[in-house]
Amino acid sequence: MNLLPKFLKDYWNIDNAPDSGIIFANVNYDRALNTNQLNGRLPFYAFTVIVEGQAVITYNGERITLNPGDIYTYTPGFSITVENATDNYSACSILAEEDAIFDSPVIRNVIRAAYFPIVELHEPKLSLSPDNARRLCRRMKEFGDYQHGEHIFKTDMLRLLYSAFLLDLIDIQQRSVKPRHLSERAEELFLDFLRLLPKNFVEHRNIGFYAGKLCVTTIFLSRIVRQTTGRTVLDFINQMLAVEALWLLQHTNKTVVQIAENLHFADHASFSRFFKRMKGTSPKDFRRA
């Protein structure tokens, strides 16, 4: 399953989007506003440094203004709407699909970098010094150079560059806020939960299964996931189901009834209600798209 190239091509108007789980892109006014066409919930992580102009977003119900030098982090499952942006808005962005990082050695750093602003700062952005903003943008653009270039070890280079970007970002984050409120034990448990989720979310939709696999109580797992991300275990399961359903609707010839059966919904009607609640529209609307 790979929704990122489709997003870049159809919504951000980027032709020849590479079929990769981790992608660099320049963001302008039009691309920022086109994000809204995905109904507010994106199936990938995004790290975006504002270069010029200003944008106003509503992130999980909170209105946030993004200025030059800010880095804004989007984590899958949170609702986002780009309210407006100035005509000269520009930003550098690296996007990574959930599936691309779940089994990757960089997952620990992705989680640290993505959730740090929410846990420690209670908002998804961090204001950078001019030197730090330039350094991160250089990292991101170097990733972009290799992304579109020819190299015998291209995949390995992209992974290394993505890891270097994340380590630079984590270093900046750690120096910005002290002390950390998230313990190493909580971080490890959350990572283990994320590793379990992609392989089990269709069959197992209750917190008890994941708590049992992790040898903790349901209350403890629920508290750690909430502390780490501000979301519930059920939020994560439902987001995985919604993204899987969206991919099946747009990339297969399966009927809505067949998809409901594959995802173990009781019937077509319950699947439609779930999808409408998560995406704000009917499965048939995505089938026609």
Q: Is residue 5 pLDDT above 80, yes or no?
A: no
Same domain, 102 and 245: no
Same domain, 216 and 146: no
The whole-chain average pLDDT of the chain stands at 85
Note whether 206 and 156 are same-domain residues.
no
138 and 220 part of one domain: no
**What percent of the chain clears pLDDT 90, i.e. is strictly above it?**
37
- Average pLDDT rounded to a whole number, residues 252-269: 88
Residues 29 and 172 in one domain: yes
Which of 176, 192, 223 is at the close of a domain? 176
Q: What DSSP string describes the chain?
A: ---HHHHHHHTS--TT--S-SEEEEEEEHHHHHHGGGGTT--SEEEEEEEEES-EEEEETTEEEEE-TTEEEEE-TT--EEEEEE-TT-EEEEEEEEHHHHHTSTTHHHHHHHHHHIIIIISSSEEEPPHHHHHHHHHHHHHHHHHHHS--TTHHHHHHHHHHHHHHHHHHHHHHHS-S-SS-HHHHHHHHHHHHHHHHHTTT--SHHHHHHHTTS-HHHHHHHHHHHHSS-HHHHHHHHHHHHHHHHHHHS---HHHHHHHTT-SSHHHHHHHHHHHHSS-HHHHHH-
Q: In this predicted structure, what is the pLDDT of residue 285?
A: 64
Pick from 19-33, 89-103, 180-194: least confident: 180-194
Q: Which domain holds residue 272?
A: 184-288
Tell me the CATH number at 170: 2.60.120.280
Mean pLDDT, to the nearest integer, of 103-131?
Answer: 81
Do 169 and 203 lie in one domain? The reply is: no
Question: pTM (2 decimals)?
Answer: 0.77
Region 65-90: mean pLDDT is 91
Question: Same structural domain for residues 157 and 214?
Answer: no
